[in-house]
A = this chain, B = another copy of it.
């Protein structure tokens, strides 16, 4: 919250003098079912996305919001600070409508524009594609890992213990939220992006890709150890090459998956409980960057439910 210098004059209301401004909060929409399980699930979107990630899918099926409500979990959907309904940013920004949808089509591993991957778990009609493109909304302020993790941590302070689902760019600040707030009792990270935190002195070499360079971030050992105290499940979908390719979209995910494996090993080496599932390795094929809304999202939900049951979080 900021206050402009001066004194508010009700006869000059358009002048900021003495007026306040609240911002950089997260926004959450929640539903608690009858006979709810003990721990609710907080679902956090990725880059360019908002709560819609978890709502009805682009082709009109139920998403993880309804699927997990039906499974008797309370469900909180977040818009992180400076995104969507949490648009009131404390930092000025300019939003430009720059055409970028073919970038996302490829980056989200739906295919190689204009072609879909063979067997991809996505409906291929024009209306679905349009709905998918429209399920984006811009940042209304600079993306800031500290601000967004503070916002989500404040939500956990308000609602108490819960399970955190993150997607993509939400992965990195998701780890920070668990470090900040012990009310985060487990994390299920869908295709976490480039930001993984390691203990100081243990950050692995950066991994270059045709898109960018994936570089681990260092935190004090004490903070890192917080991540060893909760069960963590990480899922990655299909069409991620194991060897370097010159296509930025796919190669970026090769580098991210590689860093995620190093991170799993680092956390587990310190006594943690991280499981990483690359879905094709267990026979689940065709998933994009959005396993929670792909055609087989009930199968993915089953996998997650099984994990929550195994960890006695259900």
Q: Which residues of A contact B (CB under 8 A)?
A: 2-4, 8, 10-11, 13-14, 16, 18-23, 25, 27, 29, 50-52, 55, 79, 84-103, 106-107, 112-113, 130, 133-134, 136-138, 140-141, 210-211, 246-249
Contacts and interface: CB of A to CB of B under 8 A. Distances in A.
Contacts of A22: 101, 130, 133-134
B85 A79 contact: yes
A52 to B, nearest CB: 7
Given A85-B79, A94-B92, A136-B88, A248 B13 contact: yes
Contacts of A113: 8, 10
B11 A247 contact: yes
A274 to B, nearest CB: 30
30 contacts: A2-B97, A3-B99, A10-B112, A10-B113, A11-B247, A13-B103, A13-B211, A14-B103, A16-B99, A16-B100, A19-B100, A19-B101, A21-B98, A21-B101, A22-B130, A22-B133, A50-B85, A84-B85, A84-B137, A85-B85, A85-B137, A87-B137, A87-B140, A88-B136, A88-B137, A91-B97, A92-B95, A94-B94, A95-B95, A95-B140
A143 B84 CA distance: 16
B97 A92 contact: yes
Chain A contact residues, majority secondary structure: loop
Contacts of A134: 22-23, 25, 88
B2 A99 contact: yes
A247 B10 CA distance: 7
Contacts of A21: 97-101
Given A50-B85, A88-B137, A20 B79 contact: no
**Most B CB atoms within 10 A — which of A2, A85, A94?**
A85
A98 B247 contact: no
A13 B95 contact: no
Contacts of A211: 13
